[in-house]
Amino acid sequence: MNYKLVNGTFDILPADSHKWQFIEAKIREFMSTYNYKEIRTPIFEYTELFKRSIGDQTDIVSKEMYTFPDSKNKSLTLRPENTASAMRAVIENNLVRENPQLKTFYIGPMFRRERPQKGRYRQFHQFGIEASGPKSAELDFEVILLAVRFYESFALKNVELEINSIGDLETRQIYIDALKKHLNPIINDYCENCRNRFNTNPLRVLDCKIDHEKNQNVPKITDFLNEDSKAHYERVLELLEFNNISFRENHLLVRGLDYYSDTVFEVTSSDLGAQSALCGGGRYDYLVEELGGKYTPSVGFAAGIERLLLSLEANDYAFEERYLDLFFVCMNEKTKLFASKISDSLRRSGFKVDMDFCNRSVKSQMKYANKINAKYVVVIGDDEINSNQITVKRMEDGEEFKTSFIELSNYLN
Ligand code: AMP
């Protein structure tokens, strides 16, 4: 039997893993400068957590979750996103009592049984942040700013920040009534998905890609905001303007998950095709309460790493090449003995060193050293060992230097 990848999943192979490591290092660097601390939660949770937080009528819960019973017949689910788990951990560990402005971030795999296509996978990777405690427009701004500056740091072109406010729960209910009233006479002209959503999750009719044009005249949710939500939203916009962050107000932006309130935003890239969202987020002030904790206003975003990689490729991003400091070309068993000892000492000083294990000819060892991007090569034969004189070859230009084993490290920079 031939084993194959599960549809919608992929391997990160050795030739590409440095790109992931680079992005992950950059994420950690950003998080540390904005004072966000990492939180790592299990990749599976009780199913109820996701149902309760993301919402029964959402695409994720209604059709995309990988759910299975454990041996005691408890229903478990592979996490489709990380906010619900993070808030579960916040409640369980009283994290906001310990820190009234809790700032956390995560990086890891998420699982959704979506129809695979470019930029959409069944196991994909997100990083994200969650800031819990104060209801502060400045915090919304900081969360948005972190995302904007992060993408800017890769000099990505064609990236846009879109923003909207969907108000508090009360506003949303009033708005949904108005929206349904507006849509009622015309909903039969919409796609099947929208017709279903009209009954189950009417807000989602707004972000339908197929019926985008038809939605241009729907009532604007921002016209329905109460005083507090309006003031909050205006303050976020003021902060963006004051800091010269360009943005586009998109009154059709509502996000797909039930737990959002007030500010919602997305960073999109026109390089990405249909799946254009690099990252999406917003406020979710009621989520912790919904999960049984105390009212804990929160704001955050989740960003897809695969989509970032796709847009980096579209922008011909030059990732730093990997290299090896030194490759030992060995002529026989005895020389391998020496190479093993000197490799050990050089590695303990921080050099990246490798040698031949395949008993290849000198010529093919040299070829291999070239292929794996070795900066220097040393060929060791009996003569080199007897005389303690070696030749270090710089691969870049073929220049050679004579030295001894003990002084070898001086030539490796
Ligand atoms: P969401 O949790 O749906 O708001 O998604 C946040 C971000 O995660 C999106 O903007 C995408 O960059 C990424 N994302 C979501 N679903 C997928 C998927 N199935 N495959 C790849 N990336 C995804």
Helix spans in 95-187 (H): 95-98, 137-152, 169-183
Q: Give the pLDDT confidence score for residue 257 in this predicted structure.
A: 73
Q: Percent of the chain beyond pLDDT 90?
A: 83
Residue 143 C-alpha to ligand 1 middle, in angstroms?
A: 17
- Asked if the model's pLDDT at residue 209 lies above 90, the reply is no
DSSP annotation of 259 reads T
Overall average pLDDT of the 53-71 stretch: 92
Q: Is 286 in the pocket of ligand 1 (CB under 6 A)?
A: no
Banded pLDDT at 56 (limits 50, 70, 90):
confident
CA distance 83 to 259: 10
Give nearest CA residue, ligand 1 atom 10: 279
| Closest ligand 1 atom to 81 CA | 2
pLDDT band of residue 317 (cuts 50, 70, 90) is very high
Q: Does the CB atom of residue 126 touch ligand 1 within 6 A?
A: yes
Residue 246 has what pLDDT?
Answer: 97
CA dihedral angle for residue 180, residue 250, residue 168, residue 58, rounded to 10 degrees:
60
Per-residue pLDDT at 169: 85
Q: Distance, CA 141 to ligand 1 centroid (Å)? A: 21
Task: Give pTM, 2 decimals.
Answer: 0.93
pLDDT digits (tens, 9 = 90+) for 164-205: 999 988 888 899 999 999 999 999 888 988 898 888 889 889
CA atoms of 254 and 196, how far apart (whole Å) = 17
What is the arithmetic mean of pLDDT over 94-107?
A: 97
Which residues contact residue 88 at a Cβ distance below 8 angstroms, ignoring those fewer than 6 apart?
A: 41, 45, 49, 291
Q: Name 257's Cβ contacts closer than 8 Å, sequence gap at least 6.
A: 53, 54, 55, 58, 60, 81
Dist CA 86 CA 24 (whole Å) = 19
Give residue 214's pLDDT. 84
User: Strands of 277-283's sheet, edge to edge?
Assistant: 37-38, 102-111, 123-132, 298-304, 277-283, 261-269, 159-165, 248-249
For the stretch 63-90, pLDDT in tens is: 999 999 998 889 999 999 999 999 999 9
Tell me which residue of 36, 35, 195, 20 sits closest to 105, measured CA to CA.
36
Q: What does the pLDDT read at residue 88?
A: 98
Question: 371: CA distance to ligand 1 center in Å?
Answer: 36
Note the pLDDT of residue 164: 97
Instruction: List pLDDT tens digits, range 244-253.
Output: 999 999 999 9
Mean pLDDT check: name the lowest of 154-158, 265-269, 339-343. 154-158
At residue 384, the pLDDT reads: 92
